Chain A
């Protein structure tokens, strides 16, 4: 994030962090904590800070390291407060009806308990953990209760490695010993966390392995204060919490934009020729090949790839089509800019082609000049530089938090394939002069289904959180809010779209609430990848008809302008809604539509299937 044009209060907070490459000391963290507290005391947080109330159920002392927690969250643009449960009191706090956890209005609950307090006898080399499921049952059920009773996000820390013990070699020979019980317990934990949609796992075991258990723990702190971690160890832990929240609340990046020469291979293909570049076959070519393989894996996880390179397109195309060691193929890229324009201009044109906001991109180049130029022109693009030493390249992508996901939905997996279909579709469009001709040959099909809490929650929340452009109200309902809306009798519909080029999955969501018996369009949004097919009109028409059949006579709606949703500013007035002077929410424009005239010419292009329940559907055409 560029700090040149931001709120001075935000700039002051960021100024308290040490320069890149320097460690954050506890004294720095304490200063940051005071600043965050003062910002939280002010009327409004400076953007992009977001407030976050954290509760912590814990079996260890955390108090002396609270500044580290607040600083780690501030680094990720969260103004956090944390309330600690009683030391070792978590079971009571989970079960009790007047628990602070339920009363406090917390956004996040962190569970941090040591293996030693869950599994008795871990320090006994002769202990047998054959029935680990039985030994873990109480703790796992405790997590179930948290999931059931706490409406926010829960982060569960798994168990770190055990310290040195007597009879270590004896234990290693025994598969049922505590030596192996920790790993098995962590598997059980991961499986249980996976069952709860609002629960995430913080992999303490991985963090400890990365820096080494001896660095991670402090036996002195444990003995004197029941605080097992070293200062650097705990810093890793709270940074991981902040990273998980960052990914959860702000979502992953969507597209990786790549330079070619000295980024995807070593050398300059325009000068060295396709056979002169280094890719595969020994150092450093193997590192670039491994980097390409990682990018391919990220593509399979649903991230888009794009090229932004100063080259002749034919030269790079030859590498992707013919080089024996290339992992990436030309078709893997959703957009290609191989030309002599500025990379900043190319970024803008890629963003336009893919219909994505600049904050969705990560730009990777070996040239610091190009990176500075892109940073300057597009401050919300995250940039990363290819390291000068090629053996470091395979570590680059894992350092970028937003190139990760907390869950991969079916839609994500299909996304990369969809953009490829979109390119083919654009080619078709170029050959068709009239929009009606174009639509009628697309063989459009829409399926509309009522929201099903189990089957649709993940996708519905993803749409609510991520859709910026075609979104009338940009209400970012959380999973729990959505479930509450469904519970209270609101009409929640999802639409999925397919055409002869491919299946786009569920791309639109509408929520109609019935306060005082009057239907009101709380949310109407559509993923921008479905734009240009009048799917929004088709979906709205189906909703209007459905309400009309249910005996309703009007539908109220609002347009709440945001920085990103101008594309739907006229949507309501173009679809028979009349503006009126009411005020449902601040900044919102109110509209109302008579439901007597609900049909639209868009029906001519669509086959619509309305699913009424899991096993019954009726087709309208």
Chain B
């Protein structure tokens, strides 16, 4: 899961794989604004074949939170 999330963050935000830690959040990446948050959500849905509810979308506010939510959707860690 880390590998695939790292790929998305590197594609969308140009973040290196090493920098893509669980603590990474919108505070650390200027481009991770509300518009790119939707791009990120759609990228995650595209990559993992899941669909998040509007409430879940708001909660995806760090790489760690994304991993936890994906695990809830049955994606292997």
Contacts and interface: CB of A to CB of B under 8 A. Distances in A.
Interface of A: 25-31, 34, 63-65, 67, 220-221, 223-225, 227, 231
Interface of B: 7-8, 10-14, 35-36, 38-39, 42-43, 45-47, 51, 53-54, 57
Nearest to A26: B43
Nearest to B33: A63
Nearest to B31: A30
Given A30-B12, A34-B14, A25 B38 contact: no
Contacts of B36: 64
Nearest to A30: B12
A67 B35 CA distance: 12
A220 B47 contact: no
B43 A220 contact: no
Contacts of B43: 25-27
A25 B14 contact: no
Contacts of A31: 10-11, 14
Contacts of B53: 220
Contacts of A227: 38
Contacts, number: 52
Given A25-B47, A64-B36, A221-B42, 14 more contacts: A26-B39, A26-B42, A27-B8, A27-B43, A31-B10, A31-B14, A34-B14, A63-B35, A63-B38, A65-B42, A67-B12, A220-B51, A231-B42, A231-B46
A26 B36 CA distance: 11
Contact of A27 (B7, B35, B38, B51): B7
A358 to B, nearest CB: 35
B65 to A, nearest CB: 18
6 contacts: A26-B39, A27-B8, A27-B43, A29-B11, A224-B54, A231-B45
B46 A30 contact: no
B10 A225 contact: no
A25 B36 CA distance: 15
Contact of B54 (A30, A63, A223, A231): A223
A67 B11 CA distance: 11
A25 B11 contact: yes
B38 A64 contact: yes
Contact of A224 (B14, B35, B46, B57): B57
Residue from A26, A31, A65 having most chain B Cβ neighbours under 10 A? A26
B42 A28 contact: no
Nearest to A34: B14
Nearest to B42: A231
Residue from B8, B42, B47, B51 having most chain A Cβ neighbours under 10 A? B42
Contact of A64 (B10, B14, B35, B47): B35
A64 B47 CA distance: 16
Contacts of A34: 14
Contacts of B8: 25, 27
Given A30-B11, A30-B12, A34-B14, A25 B54 contact: no
A27 B11 contact: yes
A67 B14 contact: no
Nearest to B11: A27
Contacts of B14: 31, 34
A74 to B, nearest CB: 14
A219 B10 CA distance: 28
B39 A65 contact: yes
A28 B46 contact: no
Contacts of B12: 26-27, 30, 67
Contacts of A225: 38
Contacts of B39: 26, 30, 64-65, 67
Nearest to B43: A26
A67 B8 CA distance: 13
